[in-house]
């Protein structure tokens, strides 16, 4: 698994798309947090970086779909998939190697945003007057959300040899699990089941963790989502019907 993980990270970081994706993510967040009037922290006067965690789930749909779209699609398009499967590693090792490589790249993209926290911590009055517990809870929620998105993106990549198709399918599935269940729960005829339907969506659990409330039910939800999509990826991977 480690050999696959190292190969994937080297391959991604050596490509132009890696630089573009990470830079676009950081610039987009920077604009929303420090420039745009509606979300500008300096104008709002609050010592927090809540806009980052409110916008990140949507931005990550694009970011993570771009990161994972090449995981299996490129192998199949370049004809190197057969070579990959003949290596002395198990199918699950290949899948987990690609999964953790994608997750590490995403976490690597998140790390520079700690500079925003340092800036807010410094600008706060009095200095350091920041709800650190809620902030670290938000970062934990962001990592869990990213882990779920990466598993979805990996599944989208294994079902096709076209990176663009993989990108679109990944975005659709990530958006579906993030927003659609919450939207469905608003219908009147589903009012009695509102909580249970909303519970199926990522946003419900992400919001809970982002408040600094680390509930084991939310952690179990994300782990279940990850395991489910990795299991689906393994089924498609094992079929070898490219």
User: Binning pLDDT at 50, 70 and 90, where does residue 211 land?
Assistant: confident
- pLDDT for the residue numbered 147: 95
User: Which of 40-44, 63-67, 204-208 is predicted least confidently?
Assistant: 40-44
The percentage of residues in the chain with a pLDDT greater than 90, rounded to a whole number, is 23
User: Which of 35-39, 43-47, 109-113 is predicted least confidently?
Assistant: 43-47
Categorise residue 79: left if φ over 0, alpha if ψ from -120 to 50, beta otherwise.
left
* Long-range contacts, 167-176 (Cβ 8 Å, 24+): 167/65, 167/66, 167/69, 170/64, 170/65, 170/68, 170/69, 171/61, 171/62, 171/65, 174/60, 174/61, 174/64, 174/65, 174/149, 175/61
Residue 44 has pLDDT above 70, yes or no: no
pLDDT tens, position by position, 106-146: 898 888 888 877 777 776 666 656 666 777 888 898 999 99
Query: How far is residue 67's CA from residue 8's CA, in Å, rounded to a whole number?
Result: 11
Which residue is associated with the tokens 């909303």?
Answer: 198
Section 207-221 average pLDDT:
84
User: Binning pLDDT at 50, 70 and 90, where does residue 41 land?
Assistant: low
User: Which of 36-40, 92-96, 136-140 is predicted least confidently?
Assistant: 36-40
User: Binning pLDDT at 50, 70 and 90, where does residue 148 land?
Assistant: very high
Question: For residues 187 and 182, which has the higher predicted lDDT (pLDDT)?
Answer: 182
- pLDDT for the residue numbered 79: 61
- pLDDT for the residue numbered 187: 64
pLDDT tens, position by position, 163-184: 899 999 999 999 999 988 777 7
- pLDDT for the residue numbered 242: 46
CB 208 within 8 A of CB 218: yes
CA nearest 113: which of 50, 156, 185, 155? 50
Tell how far CA 209 is from the center of its chain. 15
CB 118 within 8 A of CB 30: no
CB 105 within 8 A of CB 178: no
- pLDDT for the residue numbered 67: 87
Mean pLDDT (the chain) is 80
Query: How far is residue 28's CA from residue 188's CA, in Å, rounded to a whole number?
Result: 36
């Amino acid at each position: 698994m480690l050999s696959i993980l190292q190969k994937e990270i080297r391959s991604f970081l050596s490509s132009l798309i890696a630089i573009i994706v990470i830079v676009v993510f950081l610039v987009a967040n920077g604009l929303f947090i420090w420039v745009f009037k509606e979300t500008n922290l300096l104008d709002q006067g609050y010592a927090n970086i809540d806009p980052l965690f409110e916008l990140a789930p949507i931005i990550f749909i694009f970011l993570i779909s771009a990161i994972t779209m090449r995981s299996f699609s490129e192998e199949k398009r370049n004809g190197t998939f057969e070579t990959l499967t003949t290596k002395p590693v198990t199918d699950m090792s290949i899948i987990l190697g690609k999964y953790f490589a994608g997750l590490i790249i995403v976490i690597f993209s998140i790390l520079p945003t700690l500079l925003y926290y340092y800036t807010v911590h410094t600008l706060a009055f009095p200095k350091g007057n920041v709800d650190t517990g809620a902030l670290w809870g938000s970062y934990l929620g962001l990592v869990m959300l990213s882990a779920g998105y990466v598993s979805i993106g990996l599944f989208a990549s294994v079902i096709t040899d076209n990176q663009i198709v993989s990108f679109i399918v990944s975005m659709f599935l990530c958006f579906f699990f993030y927003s659609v269940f919450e939207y469905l729960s608003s219908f009147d005829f589903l009012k009695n089941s509102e909580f249970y339907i909303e519970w199926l969506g990522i946003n419900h659990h992400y919001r809970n963790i982002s408040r600094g409330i680390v509930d084991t039910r939310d952690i179990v939800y994300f782990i279940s989502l990850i395991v489910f999509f990795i299991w689906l990826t393994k089924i498609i991977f094992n079929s070898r019907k490219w």
